[in-house]
Structure 1
Amino acid sequence: MKKLLNKNYIRLALITLIVSSCSKPEPITITTDQYHASVNKVIDIMIHDIFSPPVASRVFAYPNITAYEILAQNSSKHKSLEGKVTGYTAIPKADANSGVNLKLAALMAHLEISRSLIFSEEKLDVLKDSLYTNFKNTNLEEFEVTQTYANKVIDHVKAWMDKDNYKQTRTMPKFTVDIDDLSRWQPTPPNYMDGIEPHWNKIRPFLLDSAAQFKPVPPPTFSLEKDSKFYEELMEVYNVSQDITKKGDDSEEIQIAQFWDCNPFVSVTRGHFMFATKKISPGAHWILITQIATKKTNSDFEDTVNAYAKTSIAIADAFISCWDEKYRSNLIRPETVINQHIDPDWLPILQTPPFPEYVSGHSVVSGAASVVLTEIFGDNFAFDDDSEVPYGIPVRSFNSFYDASTEAALSRLYGGIHYRAAIDNGLDQGKKLGHFAANKLNL
């Protein structure tokens, strides 16, 4: 009888243990790789949807800021951006006793805010549904309470996001080309597209006092006089291109130009057919460099999101600042002047993007991003940049973020799409903006 009671007791204990273990599911674990996956998927979709570089910068900024703010409320390292970012007010706070998983909420926010900013939502849903299924299977209660909280934050951020004038700029008039002024920008081959985002300086900045806060010095005055500064810079573009072409496709200059091309509007003509090639934007390239840096340093989840958020803010403001100058100076591209006045058969090594020349967008963005990343990860941060490998372009190595930004800027001369002033002044403009951003963000 005693043996039977002991057996029953053991069975009861086992049943209790099983029930107890079933009633307390494992907490959901969120990894940096999952956040990287979300970022990478958004980049892939932006390439597919052919987002312009300025618009792409907006798509990076809001999701990363939202994720950052969710984590900052319980962080000893990173503080809220309230009072630093224009128009932003603090998100709803999670109840400490509610069981909300802040890392999960941050990932949900990145996915959902990104989804609201892209066109091909169904492509992001593939990743989202896969992740959510696993999370639900791990701990349904934690998933649901976290999702409820994340949705409150998402609604809060969307309300702020919707006031940045983006929607208003969608209905503003196209850019008018002044064909009577030889110095003014004109659409370029092969598509002769309208100038993109002529009203981007009306987008609400994140940190800047205004779009013109870091207005650069004016470009050299347009002139075809051979002793003028403009003509000197024009001939530099032409002569450098001629020299590079003689060296062949394997030259270092062409490799640099192609590596930093980052023009999502490139099209290729084959007979009667024209198709676009897949390329990331300048902002996307620097977001991927951010990813490379976080992986090299084995950054934890908080620090990874911090790097993405702060870099994306600088990139977004850099585009606002740059585009403000582009449509103010409205300077003609080298391709147009060279074809009209020097060599009608000349082609730049890179395809000219569809907007005015001064200043160089890649120079401004690279300058700003390099400063912020240097403040986060330090000087002389050597890294191998494999961002362009998916597009058939080999890895390039750099000794620092500043080295990378200098090469990115110079690539515009090698590519034949910018004059020297746009490159040098653009890089200087970007670095000044980057230091301002770093100081305001307390990096």
Structure 2
Amino acid sequence: MKLFINRLLIILLLFTVAACNRNQDVTPQKKLNEYDADIVLKWGVLFLDLDQYAPGYRPPVAARALAYISLAGYEAIVPGMDNYQSIAGNFAGLTIPKPEAGQTYHWPTVLNATYWTMMKSFFPHLPDVHKNKIDELGSKNAQGLKNQVEASDFERSQQYGRQVAEVVFNYSKTDSNGHEAYLNAHPSSYIPPTGPGKWQPTTPDFTKALLPYWGRTRTFVIGPDDKIARPPLDYSSVVTSQFFAQALEVCSIPDSYENRWIGEFWSDDIFGQTFEPAARWLAIANQVIVLEKAGLEKAVYTYAKLSIALSDGAVACWNSKYLYNLERPVTFINRAINGKWKTLLDNNVQKVKSVTPPFPAYPSGHSTFGAAAAEVLSSIYGYDYAMTDKCHEFRLEFNGKPRSFNNFYEMAQENAISRILLGVHYRMDCDEGLRMGYNVGRKVNNLKWVK
């Protein structure tokens, strides 16, 4: 008996030594909510970079891509979350594979593999100089994560992350209208309607309509009624009409330092200069995540919730834009008030002065995005969350000097007003965009995110 015990002790000792040697360079596993948001932020920053140069990604396409990427990330690691639960059951046709029972997963590795796969899927058309950044970041992250876990756990986690990404991307492909719409963002098949007050391509570049069929794109939480804006004011060139008054307001705003600062600060209109106006709210969320030292769990939740709101807001807004086809202020003002008046929106990349976005005015996209984001971010970080937005600090092409706000709603409202100050929207465009965006944000908040 004594000999048997001695042999057993020797065997156990050998197993212990082997295990210690195998794990000597491995960091002990942590719970998911103990990890920081580093992986999320790195991929978020890269998205903002790629978004700036991705052809056809202005701005509904970018919002949709971000929504599917962020949803995949959320669903990939939600099995390890203490506070949140899957929302995939809300989307008919989407079934997320489950982690293998009894196996260990390293959630930052899962998330990195998911984002990596999704980003490659949604940005295949980028020039190599930008597209290569996806593999560079994914590989660099993976090398750092590999040393934190057992090799088998690392490989299992990578495989699961890729598997979830592939399932979500294949689900996104079943939306035939939204999938790869960036390849034909200005379709020649669309002929804008004619008539008094109807939108036509605007001076000085006369670019064709951007994404005129986007209202048919699949949504996540909103229904058909949520995609229809309230009717705009009746079109009229009579000087005593409300419509004329709104146009007169636009061309009467002084070109002051403060007005131009606000207009340029929120613009994000110009391809190749900045990310587009939907992704602007991802840049704001990134700042909040850093300021709050939010962990991995909360950051992934923030991305998913915010991006779904932005995506649905884009569909609702674009559906109504091409439902009403209201002409831009510059067209009306040049015809009915002042033939020499110009907008304050400049394209500093192509060196073109006084441009207007290439789609109808009503309602405002910026306003819709801002309101949807304000609802979501307030629900996560507080309805009185004050911050200074440094998205464009140190920019030289325009005034990006940081601006401070008492809450997200104040940000959304100034973002909306900025479009009037630049001369590209009537006040009614912004008011209705805010209303629609708030509605979308509340519906996203009402999903059963929390356990």
Structure 2-normalised TM-score?
0.85
Q: Which residue of 1 aligns with 2:320?
A: 325
Q: Which residue of 2 aligns with 1:6?
A: none
Q: Does structure 1 residue 286 correspond to structure 2 residue 300?
A: no
**SS in structure 2 of the partner of residue 298 of structure 1:** coil
Task: After TM superposition, list the pairs within 5 Å mapping 1:45-64 onto structure 2.
Answer: 45-50=50-55, 51-64=57-70
Q: Which residue of 1 aligns with 2:349?
A: none
Q: Deviations over 1:239-265 (max 9, x none)?
A: 11xx2x2x3xxx211111001101134
Q: Which runs of 5+ in 1 are unaligned?
A: 1-13, 266-276
Q: Which one of the candidate residues 82, 87, 112 is aligned to 2:117? A: 112
Contact 1:80-1:90 at 8 Å conserved across structures: no
Q: Does structure 1 residue 412 correspond to structure 2 residue 416?
A: no
Q: Deviations over 1:118-175 (max 9, x none)?
A: 1333221121122223334555433212112222212211221111222385677532
Q: Does structure 1 residue 426 correspond to structure 2 residue 433?
A: yes
Q: Which one of the candidate residues 345, 354, 373 is aligned to 2:358? A: 354
- CA change 1:441–1:90 in 2 (3 A) is same
**SS in structure 2 of the partner of residue 427 of structure 1:** helix
Task: After TM superposition, list the pairs within 5 Å mapping 1:377-396 onto structure 2.
Answer: 377-389=381-393, 391-392=395-396, 393-396=400-403
> What amino acid sits opposite 2:281 in the alignment?
W
Instruction: Tell me, in whole angstroms, the C-alpha distance in 2 between the residues paired with 1:94 and 1:15.
Output: 32
Q: Does structure 1 residue 297 correspond to structure 2 residue 292?
A: yes
State the shift of 1:187 in Å. Answer: 1.1
Q: Which one of the candidate residues 116, 136, 159 is aligned to 1:148? A: 159
Q: Does structure 1 residue 239 correspond to structure 2 residue 252?
A: yes
Q: Which one of the candidate residues 339, 342, 345 is aligned to 1:344? A: 339
Instruction: Tell me, in whole angstroms, the C-alpha distance in 2 between the residues paired with 1:182 and 1:441.
Output: 46
- CA change 1:390–1:205 in 2 (3 A) is farther
Q: Which moved more, 1:381-390 or 1:397-406?
A: 381-390
State the shift of 1:47 in Å. Answer: 0.4
**SS in structure 2 of the partner of residue 153 of structure 1:** helix
- CA change 1:400–1:83 in 2 (3 A) is same
Q: Which residue of 2 aligns with 1:72?
A: 78
Task: After TM superposition, list the pairs within 5 Å mapping 1:367-378 onto structure 2.
Answer: 367-378=371-382
Q: Which one of the candidate residues 84, 89, 92 is aligned to 1:87? A: 92
Q: Which moved more, 1:93-102 or 1:70-79?
A: 93-102
Identity %: 29
Instruction: Tell me, in whole angstroms, the C-alpha distance in 1 between the residues paired with 2:42 and 2:299.
Output: 12
Q: Deviations over 1:205-249 (max 9, x none)?
A: 011123x42522111122111111111111110111xx2x2x3xx
Instruction: Tell me, in whole angstroms, the C-alpha distance in 1 between the residues paired with 2:190 and 2:395.
Output: 32
Report how many aligned residue pairs link the two structures. Answer: 409
Contact 1:208-1:317 at 8 Å conserved across structures: yes
**SS in structure 1 of the partner of residue 343 of structure 2:** coil
Instruction: Tell me, in whole angstroms, the C-alpha distance in 1 between the residues paired with 2:190 and 2:405.
Output: 38
Q: Does structure 1 residue 439 correspond to structure 2 residue 434?
A: no
**SS in structure 2 of the partner of residue 352 of structure 1:** coil
- CA change 1:441–1:283 in 2 (3 A) is farther
Instruction: Tell me, in whole angstroms, the C-alpha distance in 2 between the residues paired with 1:441 and 1:325.
Output: 28
Q: Which one of the candidate residues 197, 200, 225 is aligned to 1:183? A: 197
- CA change 1:347–1:18 in 2 (3 A) is farther
State the shift of 1:46 in Å. Answer: 1.3
Q: Which runs of 5+ in 2 are unaligned?
A: 1-12, 346-354
Contact 2:118-2:166 at 8 Å conserved across structures: no
**SS in structure 1 of the partner of residue 439 of structure 2:** helix
Q: Which moved more, 1:32-41 or 1:96-105?
A: 96-105
Q: Deviations over 1:404-425 (max 9, x none)?
A: 0010011111010000111111
Task: After TM superposition, list the pairs within 5 Å mapping 1:162-177 onto structure 2.
Answer: 162-165=173-176, 166-167=178-179, 174-177=189-192
Q: Deviations over 1:53-98 (max 9, x none)?
A: 00000121111111111222232211110333x3253411112432
Q: Which residue of 2 aligns with 1:203?
A: 217
Contact 1:52-1:264 at 8 Å conserved across structures: no
Contact 1:279-1:391 at 8 Å conserved across structures: no
Instruction: Tell me, in whole angstroms, the C-alpha distance in 1 between the residues paired with 2:395 and 2:275.
Output: 9
Contact 2:84-2:449 at 8 Å conserved across structures: no
Instruction: Tell me, in whole angstroms, the C-alpha distance in 2 between the residues paired with 1:56 and 1:138.
Output: 33
Contact 1:331-1:358 at 8 Å conserved across structures: yes
State the shift of 1:309 in Å. Answer: 0.5
Instruction: Tell me, in whole angstroms, the C-alpha distance in 1 between the residues paired with 2:279 and 2:393.
Output: 14
Q: Which residue of 2 aligns with 1:228?
A: 241
Structure 1-normalised TM-score?
0.86
Q: Which residue of 1 aligns with 2:103?
A: 98
Contact 2:75-2:164 at 8 Å conserved across structures: no
Contact 1:214-1:432 at 8 Å conserved across structures: no
Instruction: Tell me, in whole angstroms, the C-alpha distance in 1 between the residues paired with 2:413 and 2:231.
Output: 21
Task: After TM superposition, list the pairs within 5 Å mapping 1:245-264 onto structure 2.
Answer: 245=255, 247=256, 251-264=257-270
Contact 2:215-2:227 at 8 Å conserved across structures: no
State the shift of 1:177 in Å. Answer: 2.7
Q: Deviations over 1:32-58 (max 9, x none)?
A: 122201111111011022421000001
> What amino acid sits opposite 1:316 in the alignment?
S
Contact 1:364-1:426 at 8 Å conserved across structures: yes
Q: Which residue of 1 aligns with 2:22?
A: 23
Q: Which residue of 2 aligns with 1:125?
A: 135
Contact 2:39-2:108 at 8 Å conserved across structures: no
Q: Which residue of 2 aligns with 1:4?
A: none
Instruction: Tell me, in whole angstroms, the C-alpha distance in 2 between the residues paired with 1:82 and 1:136.
Output: 29
Instruction: Tell me, in whole angstroms, the C-alpha distance in 1 between the residues paired with 2:114 and 2:394.
Output: 27
Instruction: Tell me, in whole angstroms, the C-alpha distance in 2 between the residues paired with 1:349 and 1:365.
Output: 21
Instruction: Tell me, in whole angstroms, the C-alpha distance in 2 between the residues paired with 1:280 and 1:63.
Output: 17
Q: Which one of the candidate residues 366, 369, 376 is aligned to 2:370? A: 366
Alpha carbon RMSD of aligned pairs, Å? 2.3
Contact 2:363-2:432 at 8 Å conserved across structures: yes
Instruction: Tell me, in whole angstroms, the C-alpha distance in 1 between the residues paired with 2:298 and 2:192.
Output: 46
Q: Which residue of 2 aligns with 1:398?
A: 405
Instruction: Tell me, in whole angstroms, the C-alpha distance in 2 between the residues paired with 1:189 and 1:441.
Output: 46
